[in-house]
Structure 1
Amino acid sequence: MRVFKGADELVAASGSNLGTGDWLLIEQDRIDRFADATGDHQWIHVDVERAKDGPFGATIAHGYLTLSLVPTLAARNYRVEGARLGINYGLDKVRFITPVRVGSRVRARSELLKAEVAADGSVQSVWRTTIEIEGVERPACVAESITRHHF
């Protein structure tokens, strides 16, 4: 785990590959709870029996469920100390490349593409997070997210 101790260390680390974290098992219960939270109950996500005969041979996690795991999975790779507040500022790019089948394990590969002091004095950082699926060559998701850290 990489620990950034303040704004200067974060800015100096622009362009760093931060490696990968631990695996997280994607279980049907998580998929079902996400479906309930979002109202997306499409059968490829929640109908276990029907999905067995579907295009993926099992239920799959919602793409947005996979994306929503970015903060949880990235927190296994790095943390920023000394900030009194970190705010999600948005996304530049998101791609859902490979569906995550129920029972798969995923992890994040994190890269700090750039970090710079913003006009308001915060540090704006751009992170590329690649969600990998254990045993699968192509990633589940690649997202570039922007965070503002207020020190």
Structure 2
Amino acid sequence: MSDFHDLPSTVGTTIEGHPFVLGEDEDAAFTKATWLDKAYPEDTVPEYPATLVEGFLLLGMVDAASKLAAPDRGATAWGLNYGLDRVRFIRPVHLGQRVLSTFETLAVEPKDQGYKVLRRCVFTVEGDDGPAMIADWWSFALPRGTVERARREAPTTE
């Protein structure tokens, strides 16, 4: 997020993210953090290649990849995760492959004191013809300072 008041004018724009690579360290940390190591203690399923990136690990990269694509230098807005409308894992991604990302703003809708922002997030393995993952992701943007002002103005219960 950058300038809060400019958000409606971003509909139709696409930002290209920085390429990233997921390796064994990220895979191991994800497996431990999400308890996949406990749910599947014998991770030797012959049909599941050891180098295949788990779809939810890839989806979990959306926020960081988006932030790295458009850093908040001097931002007047900040955003919260509002949810996902649609996620599709179309092609496999393997550890060590270079992933390219794009973020297209599809909609900006007023909500309360802020905006709901819908972005189509597309991850593609470098050199592949089509996307590996497409996610339509909503965020809720507010002007910086909104929460702080509300806290200051809230009546105390002492």
Fold agreement, TM-score > 0.5: yes
5 Å-filtered alignment, 1:64-143, equals: 64-79=56-71, 81-83=75-77, 85-118=78-111, 120-143=112-135
Give the alignment partner of residue 40 of structure 1, picking from 36, 40, 49: 36
Secondary structure at 2:6 match in 1: helix
Task: Look up the SS of the partner of 1:75 in the other structure.
Answer: helix
1:89-147 per-position Cα deviation (integer Å, ceiling 9, x unaligned) = 100100011121111111211100011221x1211100000011112222221001111
Identity within the alignment, %: 29
**SS of residue in 1 equivalent to 2:36:** coil
Q: Secondary structure at the match of 1:128?
A: strand
Backbone CA RMSD of aligned residues? 2.2
Higher alpha-carbon Rg:
2
**Which consecutive unaligned segments of at least 5 residues does structure 2 have?**
144-158
TM-score, normalised to structure 2's length?
Answer: 0.77
Q: Give 1:26 deviation, angstroms.
A: 1.1
Counterpart-to-counterpart distance in 2, 1:140 and 1:56: 17
Helix, strand or coil for the counterpart of 2:33? Answer: helix
Superposition TM-score, scaled by structure 1 size: 0.81
For the Cα contact (< 8 Å) 1:127–1:146, is it kept in 2? yes
Whole-Å Cα distance in 1 between the matches of residues 106 and 136 of structure 2? 9
Amino acid in the other structure paired with 1:104: Q
In structure 2, what is the Cα distance between the partners aligned to 1:140 and 1:55? 19
Aligned equivalent of 2:4: 7
